Structure 1
Amino acid sequence: MKRTMMKLSLATGLAGVLMLGACGTEEVDHASETVQSMEPVEAELNVPATADKEETVTLSVRVTQDGEAVDDADEIKFEVWKNGAKEDSEMMKASLTEDGVYEVETTFADEAVYTVQVHVTARSMHTMPTTNVTVGHPETAAEAEETSDHHHHAGAEIVLEPKQATVNEPQPFNVNVEIDHEMLTGADVQLEVFKDGAEKHEWVKLEEADGVYTGEHTFTEAGPYNVQVHVTKGHDIHEHIMETIEVK
């Protein structure tokens, strides 16, 4: 009888170990299925073009990635300043109100043209689009329009070369940037290098020489890499493109 009970106890214990092992495997497998998307995070500003002095207005941004709402942003802040007085800017933290939409309320103290810039940090990415708000009746409509044109350009033409590299060998890169068909100088240009599914992103700061931005990076593995080119200059320009580099 004792021998039968001992056998039963051993069988039960073994079954429990096998069940725990199976559960652990399920958890690991489930975790491995979660792969963070490497598509760029997009930020769409929704800010009124005009406002009255001391009027309460809502500043809003919709954050998406690959067409899906981003509800888990690390930080969303709106920075507001009267044009020509960036040193007196005000930074305000926004809150999530619905799917991918973050908002904050503010007022404008003077009749002037203000710049509104949102700082979006989400899923290891950062973007900083800007827009303008004309408050009241500034000195001239022409002045407001000129300021608006200064902050809204048609976009940048960014060219990264080359598109291939050799594993474990330093690879030089050149970046040319043009805005409105004019070469952009004095910008901060960086490369964000990563493979699909990788949590770690490497950054390469490029140096400017005669209007061309250059730098090098060594790839430690063969295969396709994503290289996102970030171009910023002051608070007016923030552009980026994504390229695929084939490493052999």
Structure 2
Amino acid sequence: MKKTYMFLMTVLILILAACGTSEGEQDTTQGDETTEDSLTPPEVEVQFEGPLPVNEETTIKAVVTQGDKKVEDAEYVEFEIWNDAKGEDSSEKVKASHTSDGVYEASYTFKEEGTYQVIAHTQVGDLHTMPQKEVTVGEASADNSHDEANGKESSHDHGKGEFMVHLMTDNAFKAGTESTLTTHISRMESPFEDAIVRFEISSDQMDKHSFLDAEESEPGEYKAAHTFPSAGEYTINVHYEKPDEEIHGHKEETIKVTE
């Protein structure tokens, strides 16, 4: 009788263990699926209501998708715009708002004719993308639209926009509290990986410039921690380089530090 009881207990324990393993495997699989979806890079299509006029308000749209889904809760979509004739240092940033079905819109007025670069800085979860679109404003824009409709593409030199640098200036920077400086760098719309990146920090409140070495946390994303001594405006100069490829560039941004 005792042997029979021990045998039944052994069988019961084996059955319970098998059930637990099966449920654990199922939960792990479901977790993997969620992680895989969240790692799918977002895709952004920049659209304009053209032809693009001078000194008239224009609507810029970005359609954000991730896999087969429309992204309606992106952390932010921000357009960076500059005239090629003036260079990237003259760029302006305009925040976009979500309307519906993954469409984010912003209004902008192009003040001069010419060729412009438009970058849609987009953050979805931990993933950042910044596709670039070149547009022509003014009388030439109608001809450009006609060429595109007939399958023709205008040729432009994209050399000025080979490297894109986006410093996260919307973060809350408080004096006396450790903050994280984050920049995203891309080369021809692909993450600029394995680079040497340093933040140069300067301000009227500082006796000398300070330099911080940044670490790459994600492909093309570089971070460094810093504590600002006091409130005010600071200039952050992002230096990026790859000496073996003779690449060295920089981009300046201004941030505000609060009490």
With structure 2 as the length reference, what TM-score do the two structures score? 0.45
